Amino acid sequence: MPPAPAIPNTRARSAVVSRHEWEGYRCESRLVPAVSPRIAPLVLVGGAFQTKESWGRLERELLAHVDVFTVDLPGWGAGNVLPDRHGADFLADALGHMIDEAGLTSVHLVGGSYGTAIAYRLAQRRPELVAKMVLVGTMTSIPGHARVAMRRTLDLLVEGRMEEFAQETVAFMVNADRIDSVAAGTRVRRFLMRRMLNLSDEDVEKHLSNTMRLLRHEMLDTSRPPGMPVLVATGEHDAFTTPELCRALAATCSDSWFTRVADADHMLPLERPVELADLITHFLMGEPLEQLSYCRGVERTSPLCATP
């Protein structure tokens, strides 16, 4: 079905918000044009509680260079609840459908946390659509100890023990041992706690389904590596999607780089949005990464040429 007419958006007057449908499930997109775009449009795919309007400073920084397309996939934001029987392929196909309906024929993909699996799958399934890809805070699969902890948070959520749920969920995203070494670490933790403690009934249902999807499905199939240039990044203090796990994911791609961002944890878009936007645009524009002061080394994790 074609996109519905634009919906007025008070947070960004130039944004075009469109309704879509995929296999009977509602979803929405938001396209914000840059004044003078220098590269193909950039698609942002967010994490567990991300919505198309909540990219904040990162989006504003990116708009200096590129049109930005953000999404509420089924199960997120304005989308309706998506049962956990649907895996990453379903979400990747929904994302591709939304990009197609927006009339975008070539895009750059940026996935964060949960969204990295969806971006990776789209890059595999629609390689002609994706020029370059950036994955922020990712892993090839969820380790066993993390699965146990995630199931524990779901039990707390079902039982309505919201304070404990919030504390244990935020513990995934914030490295408490290094919070003083992370830019805006304490502020980000407070923000996440407020977000967890103020979930609506629909938010709760979506989070239950989305987390069960992670536990039920193998979200990444690394047997067919994406062929386009890929940058994988994480905060140097990330204890959830650790640098080691991110480096391993980068190594599954045939043309890839890996870097750690200084003074950052798992919530890079909130902790260091200016630096993350700068890193993304350098990579997408093919500019060298090695001299960026906020990067703790840039590693070539595949055997192709040495610069992006």
Query: Which burial class, exposed, middle or buried, applies to 14 when counting CB atoms under 10 A from its CB (0-12, 13-18, 19+)?
Result: exposed
Identify the pLDDT of residue 103. 97
303: its two tokens: 């055997």
pLDDT at 166 over 50: yes
Identify the pLDDT of residue 305. 43
Classify each residue of 56-86 as buried b or exposed e, where b means 16 or more C-beta atoms within 10 Å of its C-beta. eebbebbbebbbbbbbbbbbbbbbebbebeb
Identify the pLDDT of residue 219. 85
pLDDT in tens, 275-302: 999 999 999 999 999 999 999 999 999 7
Any bridge partners for residue 110, and if so which?
44, 134
Query: Which burial class, exposed, middle or buried, applies to 246 when counting CB atoms under 10 A from its CB (0-12, 13-18, 19+)?
Result: buried
pLDDT at 3 over 80: no
pLDDT band at 143 (very low <50, low <70, confident <90, very high): confident
- Rounded to the nearest angstrom, the gap between the alpha carbon of residue 77 and the centroid of all alpha carbons in its chain is 14
pLDDT band at 172 (very low <50, low <70, confident <90, very high): confident
What is the 8-class DSSP label of residue 235? E
pLDDT in tens, 46-102: 998 899 999 999 999 999 999 999 999 999 999 999 999 999 999 999 999 999 999
Identify the pLDDT of residue 14. 86
CA dist list (Å): 287 to 119, 259, 279, 282, 291: 22, 15, 10, 5, 10
The overall average pLDDT reported for the chain is 92
pLDDT in tens, 250-276: 999 999 999 999 999 999 999 999 999
pLDDT in tens, 188-208: 999 999 999 999 999 999 999
Average pLDDT over every residue of 158-184: 95
* pTM of the predicted protein model: 0.93
Identify the pLDDT of residue 303. 54
pLDDT band at 8 (very low <50, low <70, confident <90, very high): very low
Average pLDDT over every residue of 179-187: 96
Average pLDDT over every residue of 29-56: 95
pLDDT at 154 over 80: yes
pLDDT in tens, 212-223: 999 999 888 898
Residue 13 has a CB neighbour count (10 Å cut-off) of 8
Average pLDDT over every residue of 1-25: 66
pLDDT in tens, 227-249: 999 999 999 999 999 999 999 99
Amino acid at 151: R
Q: What are phi and psi of 295, to 5 degrees?
A: -95, 130
CA dist list (Å): 11 to 14, 15, 74, 195, 232: 9, 8, 22, 19, 30
69: its two tokens: 């397309």
pLDDT band at 6 (very low <50, low <70, confident <90, very high): very low
